[in-house]
Amino acid sequence: MKKNLGEIIKQDMIQNRGYILNSLQLLKLILWEKYDPMKYLIFFRVANYCENSPKLIRGIVYRIYYHHSFKFGFEISPKTKIGGGLRLPHWGGGIVIHSNAIIGENCEIMQNVTVGNNALKSRDDVAIIGDRVTLCAGSKVIGSVSIGDNVVVGANSVVVKDIPTNTIVAGIPAKIIRYVNN
């Protein structure tokens, strides 16, 4: 069952704030907060939702979205498929995610993370990342790889091969350092 925009934004709020903002708090966030990743996520979700809207509406929404992308230092295409509950704990994070990437629900992405293609193999084949995955600071996920659910990718690690569910990986290239039970 596909979730609507409001449900996805509420899921993001719970992951980032621990509670759902009321209408006044949401308005204050959008109009006055300068550097709150939750503000960026709202604009991302709206731009993602407007992907199939008429060209004029999509153009206006994209212009606002790209302004905030530049301001926050995030390069995430509005076409990217990201499940609800995304947590971006740092603003100005230098996060780059390819437009063809698929990211599951309740994931956390730290600063300076890249999810991209392997230009030597294919410019369009990129990662599929499962639910409840944490990409720690500086980690890179390169090429057509699959990362299972409940995975932690250690800081500055480079993932170039598939990662199974319930693992912690680290290193260059990333290797399993521990299995976790959930």
Tell me, what's the pLDDT at 109? 95
Rounded Cα gap, residues 155 and 13, in angstroms = 25
Rounded Cα gap, residues 129 and 179, in angstroms = 17
**50-72 pLDDT tens trace:** 988 899 999 999 999 998 888 88
CA angle 157, 161, 167 (to 5 degrees): 65
pLDDT higher than threshold 70 for residue 101: yes
Of 92, 90, 89, 135, whose CA–CA distance to 116 is shortest? 135
Of 118, 110, 80, whose CA–CA distance to 97 is shortest? 80
Its pTM stands at 0.90
Q: Which residues contact 55 (CB under 8 A, 6 or more apart)?
A: none
What's the chain's average pLDDT? 91
